[in-house]
Homo-oligomer: A and B are copies of this chain.
Amino acid sequence: MSLANGAPSFAELRTGIELALSGFLADQRTQLAEIGTELDPVSTSLTDYVLNGGKRLRPLFAYWGFRGAGGKADAAIIRACASLELIQACALIHDDVMDGSDTRRGFPAIHKRFATLHRDQGLSGASESFGISAAILLGDLALVWADKMFHTSTIESDALVRALPVLDEMRTEIMAGQYLDVLEQALASQSVERSLRVARLKSAKYTVERPLHLGAALAGADAPLFNSYSRYGMPLGEAFQLRDDILGVFGDPEETGKPAGDDLREGKRTVLIAAALERANGTQAAFIEQHLGRSTLGISDVINMREIIMETGAVGVVETMIEGGLASALNALEDSSIEPTARERLAELALAATRRRL
């Protein structure tokens, strides 16, 4: 497999990851159809959802984490890394239910899709409830299939057993992070420190550090490399989330795939919002608190909110934090034990992920 070694581009790797996912999902679809053809919408929806876009960041970090530890990649490693996308599918499907988000990457969220199926087939009971039940179960199934894809990747048993504890920590952290995120919104928190803690769990650990550790564990790396990956991954993951915070308020819908100012409508307690509230005068703070989380927020409210957030200086503060995180991450890559091609690619990933041109 040409992707296995050498210096594949991100686009080549993404294609490899997507082929692995579509192959796995086709097999599961066959298996579910043997149980009953009524399960076809389950496998079709999950397949569409997983294959419909996404930056594949976690598999990319896992792959380059493996290569950075000197591992010789093969198709089995690509499959093992790709399985992380199914954990992410679970997180996103359940997230959309919790947030009541109707779309994901421009397509209907899973709960919406099944509510529509319920209506179209004239089933009995409430369509919304059916959609939510289906989405809860499809999220669960995605989590189970992540395991299955990893277990059946045909990586060696030793590598498998070394990697399982990393997956366990990773998944505990993402669920804990999601709970704290929900709690922060309910607390209407305005602390930069508390928002950063959520960013550390949900983005830094889950998106960057743990995938790198997974790759390192698969390659049988020793402790110093795990540490280097943490020193690179944690500040980078934080910076990555901070970029997301800015895009969630200021991003172009054509680029983000979400309506303008969507984070404001959802009332997300991001570091950006916390920084704005910390710096705001009385009038500015009152305006933000009054409008944040209002689902009816129109484009002119979004523009007003943007202006006030700019005026507080919060954007500059967050941009400085992003630059600092990126610098720390690049600095950690100087660790000489990381294999040179991987080091180069990890530097590129750091730049791309924080400047969001990936």
Of the listed stretches A140-148, A207-215, A233-241, A347-355, chain B binds A140-148
Instruction: Check: A186 CB closer than 8 A to any chain B CB.
Output: yes
Q: B124 near A188 (CB under 8 angstroms)?
A: yes
Of the listed stretches A8-16, A174-182, A218-226, A333-341, chain B binds A174-182
Instruction: Report the bound CA distance from A164 to B132 in whole Å.
Output: 29
Q: B185 near A125 (CB under 8 angstroms)?
A: yes
Q: B176 near A32 (CB under 8 angstroms)?
A: yes
Considering only residues 128-143 of chain A, those with a C-beta below 8 Å from chain B are 129-130, 132-134, 136-141, 143
Residues of B within 8 A of A304 (CB): none
DSSP class of A's interface residues: helix, strand, loop or mixed? helix
Asked if A39 meets B168 with Cβ closer than 8 Å, knowing A97-B136, A136-B98, A186-B124, the reply is no
Instruction: Check: A73 CB closer than 8 A to any chain B CB.
Output: no
Question: How would residues 27 to 46 of chain A score, 1 for a CB under 8 Å from any chain B CB and 0 otherwise?
Answer: 01001100110110010000
Instruction: Report the bound CA distance from A144 to B177 in whole Å.
Output: 14
Set B132, B172, B197: member contacting A141, Cβ < 8 A: B172
Set B98, B168, B183: member contacting A38, Cβ < 8 A: B183
Q: Which residue from chain B places its CB closest to the CB of A167 in the assembled complex?
A: B147
Residues of B within 8 A of A118 (CB): 186
Copy number of this protein in the oligomer?
Answer: 2
Instruction: Report the bound CA distance from A32 to B201 in whole Å.
Output: 12
Residues of B within 8 A of A132 (CB): 98
Residues of B within 8 A of A145 (CB): 172
Instruction: Check: A306 CB closer than 8 A to any chain B CB.
Output: no
Instruction: Check: A1 CB closer than 8 A to any chain B CB.
Output: no
Instruction: Check: A165 CB closer than 8 A to any chain B CB.
Output: yes
The contact sample of 29 A-B pairs, CB cut-off 8 A, is A35-B176, A35-B201, A36-B176, A39-B179, A39-B180, A94-B136, A94-B137, A97-B136, A98-B129, A98-B133, A123-B183, A124-B185, A124-B186, A125-B185, A125-B186, A136-B136, A136-B139, A137-B178, A141-B172, A143-B144, A144-B168, A144-B175, A147-B168, A151-B165, A152-B165, A152-B168, A157-B157, A157-B161, A161-B161
Cβ-closest 4 pairs across A and B: A123-B186, A148-B168, A98-B133, A144-B171
Interface residues of chain A, those whose CB is within 8 Å of chain B, are 28, 31-32, 35-36, 38-39, 42, 90, 94, 97-98, 118, 123-125, 129-130, 132-134, 136-141, 143-145, 147-148, 151-152, 157-158, 160-161, 164-165, 167-168, 171-173, 175-176, 178-180, 182-183, 185-188, 197, 201, 293
Known contacts A36-B176, A147-B164; 15 further A-B pairs (Cβ under 8 A): A32-B176, A35-B180, A38-B180, A42-B176, A123-B183, A125-B185, A137-B175, A137-B178, A139-B140, A140-B175, A143-B144, A144-B171, A148-B168, A157-B161, A161-B161
